[in-house]
A and B are shown apart, each in its own frame.
Chain A
């Protein structure tokens, strides 16, 4: 009986895995290549949301400047993987640095983690709204720096951003050109999909392992009651810094992926609105629950695209012209959705623990 259930479970897993692996091809066939690109971006958002989930969902530290770490990772690759450094330091790097993607990933993870600690250290005593204000300021500071660091040394190229970032190469194959493997043609966006999928899987794995560990429990203790946590001997300073650093690392790595995928970064990609979006993914989906956060990421990353591609033709068909701009509608729907979720599902669409408390009754082995 039991083994039967398990094979069914395994079968379901294989089916899901297959669906995910075929996703770019299915999307391509049904909706067109543009949508594969949208799915790729959704994966980046999922990674960001999972990173922020460590800070907000596990440790309960409200961070409104999270996109800054994404920016750090993106600019890290932009500077080290494009000819731009030749402009800033012509003697030192006559042709730019051109580190490979695999060298930049650990570098930007470390750098972003360092920035995480930098943000965490002065805010250790702050909680809730006060912390939110300081982190919001931090996010804006980073963006404004990026905007203005084109003088006296042109480090970031200011608002124009940095272009010509090297494409990501895996095993010597540049992902910017399509590739034929075993007779199947993989276009560039498909290749990036699989790369992002691998990183997302890694991020999910790390999140999951941390959640079910001594460290994860300590984070949740801080979230639930910081005073009780210190009274239990938890060093809240170190653990908060660790949460900031881990979350920032995820952000930094996804920023690097973003820079390689786009080939171009500019400060406007890292506005406050992006931080708010990522936070909404976490809150809407279900803080502290990996599946919920993924769901939130998928929904919020795809919603604006669905609107953009669906609402304009719909309005054209109904009224013969575009009455409401999809961008404005996006904010309207987004706000409404947020209010609705907060009213009817304050713990998010897929909150953590619900399943567990439901299962409690029929789990005799967990009784003590």
Chain B
């Protein structure tokens, strides 16, 4: 139980000659909300993509839920229990809200081609349960529009929430959110914060990249700061806030 859920050791990633990440080590404990901050171009999204398997790390070690992964494929990691959202919303735009969440259930359901063709009792029951769970999740994240609304017709805030619902549908151990509050107004951010606290209360660990420092500071148990692909600080928000390196790199230095 005390073993960390996610452990990264000496992760490195290069793009051409650019060291996007170097020697990044961190661990995320079960049940915490872990924040990842840093100025633009610091490597947050790169690290995020390494964690979710979209990028292959060039160096380092990756452990999730006690298992070590070499060059994990994204769909394997999703099956292992990492679900994510995207900085630029990536919903299945021409499918309905309900279908988006049902697709999240893909790895937790089983029926194949023969099930689809025969539509036997087991398949029908699975479909029903899948749709039912999807509707629950839509309600849970606070989407009150008809479930048949196309994802592209939802409002911006609803689309962000739908991404969270879709990620939750995969029954993750770790929910990784890439700037979930981007473009949200204060009210929306506040209700997002409540939603994330709710999610954590159900036992899901949350990893958060965010620009909104207030949100990070008010929500996260621990925070890591990246700058130029390196981790320059880690700790509880108050500690990090006072760290001179962080102040210099992120919160603005005296030149400004």
* A209 interface neighbour in B90, B92, B119, B139, Cβ under 8 Å: B119
Judge whether A217 and B106 touch: CB under 8 Å. yes
Whether a CB of chain A sits under 8 angstroms from the CB of B45 is no
Chain A residues in 8 Å Cβ range of B109: 214
Binds B, one of A11-19, A228-236, A276-284, A307-315: A228-236
Chain A residues in 8 Å Cβ range of B86: 228, 231
Chain B residues in 8 Å Cβ range of A232: 75, 78, 83, 103-104, 106-107, 166-167, 170
Chain A residues in 8 Å Cβ range of B170: 232-233
How far is B104's CA from A218's CA once the two chains are assembled, in angstroms? 9
CB distance from B149 to the nearest CB of A (A): 7
Indicate whether A234 sits within 8 Å of B75 (C-beta atoms), given known contacts A209-B116, A225-B90: yes
* B113 interface neighbour in A210, A235, A236, Cβ under 8 Å: A210
Chain B residues in 8 Å Cβ range of A367: 145-147
Question: Chain B residue with minimal CB distance to A217?
Answer: B103
Chain A residues in 8 Å Cβ range of B145: 367
How far is B96's CA from A367's CA once the two chains are assembled, in angstroms? 12
Whether a CB of chain A sits under 8 angstroms from the CB of B112 is yes
**Contact flags B134-157 to A (C-beta < 8 A → 1, else 0):** 010011000111111110010000
Judge whether B149 and A229 touch: CB under 8 Å. no
Residues from 210 to 225 in A contacting B, C-beta threshold 8 Å: 210, 212-218, 220-221, 224-225
Chain A residues in 8 Å Cβ range of B74: 227, 230-231, 233
Question: Chain B residue with minimal CB distance to A359?
Answer: B148
Chain A residues in 8 Å Cβ range of B127: 213-214
Judge whether A220 and B95 touch: CB under 8 Å. yes
CB distance from B166 to the nearest CB of A (A): 7
Number of A-B contacts (CB under 8 A): 128
Judge whether B52 and A231 touch: CB under 8 Å. yes
How far is B144's CA from A353's CA once the two chains are assembled, in angstroms? 21
**Contact flags B169-181 to A (C-beta < 8 A → 1, else 0):** 0100000000000
How far is B147's CA from A339's CA once the two chains are assembled, in angstroms? 35
Whether a CB of chain B sits under 8 angstroms from the CB of A185 is no
Whether a CB of chain B sits under 8 angstroms from the CB of A2 is no
Chain B residues in 8 Å Cβ range of A212: 116
Chain B residues in 8 Å Cβ range of A217: 95, 99, 102-103, 106
CB distance from A110 to the nearest CB of B (A): 14
**Contact flags B61-82 to A (C-beta < 8 A → 1, else 0):** 0000000000001110011000
Judge whether B147 and A224 touch: CB under 8 Å. no
CB distance from B72 to the nearest CB of A (A): 11
Question: Chain B residue with minimal CB distance to A357?
Answer: B150
Indicate whether A215 sits within 8 Å of B94 (C-beta atoms), given known contacts A232-B104, A356-B148, A363-B146: no
Chain A residues in 8 Å Cβ range of B113: 210, 215, 242, 246
Whether a CB of chain A sits under 8 angstroms from the CB of B1 is no
**Contact flags A119-138 to B (C-beta < 8 A → 1, else 0):** 00000000000000000000
Whether a CB of chain B sits under 8 angstroms from the CB of A366 is yes
How far is B147's CA from A366's CA once the two chains are assembled, in angstroms? 6
Question: Chain B residue with minimal CB distance to A242?
Answer: B113
CB distance from A334 to the nearest CB of B (A): 27
Chain B residues in 8 Å Cβ range of A218: 103, 106
Judge whether A368 and B106 touch: CB under 8 Å. no
CB distance from A214 to the nearest CB of B (A): 5
Whether a CB of chain A sits under 8 angstroms from the CB of B6 is no
Most buried by A among B91, B92, B99, B149: B92
Whether a CB of chain B sits under 8 angstroms from the CB of A360 is yes
Chain A residues in 8 Å Cβ range of B143: 368
Indicate whether A228 sits within 8 Å of B90 (C-beta atoms), given known contacts A210-B116, A218-B103: yes
Chain A residues in 8 Å Cβ range of B78: 230-233
How far is B90's CA from A229's CA once the two chains are assembled, in angstroms? 9
Question: Chain A residue with minimal CB distance to B147?
Answer: A368
How far is B102's CA from A229's CA once the two chains are assembled, in angstroms? 12
Question: Chain A residue with minimal CB distance to B94?
Answer: A224
Whether a CB of chain A sits under 8 angstroms from the CB of B183 is no
Most buried by A among B75, B139, B144: B75
How far is B252's CA from A43's CA once the two chains are assembled, in angstroms? 69
* A233 interface neighbour in B106, B115, B116, B139, Cβ under 8 Å: B106
Residues from 273 to 318 in A contacting B, C-beta threshold 8 Å: none
Most buried by A among B86, B116, B149, B153: B116
Chain A residues in 8 Å Cβ range of B166: 232
Chain B residues in 8 Å Cβ range of A230: 53-54, 73-75, 78
CB distance from B60 to the nearest CB of A (A): 21
Judge whether A231 and B84 touch: CB under 8 Å. yes
Counting from the closest, the 8 A-B pairs by CB-CB distance are: A233-B78, A213-B116, A233-B107, A224-B92, A228-B90, A230-B74, A221-B103, A368-B147
Besides A232-B103, A367-B145, 13 other A-B contacts (C-beta < 8 A): A214-B130, A215-B116, A221-B103, A221-B106, A224-B91, A227-B54, A229-B103, A232-B75, A233-B78, A357-B148, A363-B146, A366-B147, A368-B98
- Can you list 30 residue pairs at the A/B interface with Cβ under 8 Å? A212-B116, A213-B115, A213-B123, A217-B99, A217-B106, A218-B103, A220-B94, A220-B99, A224-B93, A224-B95, A225-B93, A230-B74, A231-B52, A231-B75, A231-B78, A232-B78, A232-B103, A232-B107, A233-B170, A234-B75, A236-B75, A356-B148, A357-B153, A360-B146, A363-B146, A366-B146, A366-B147, A367-B146, A368-B138, A368-B147
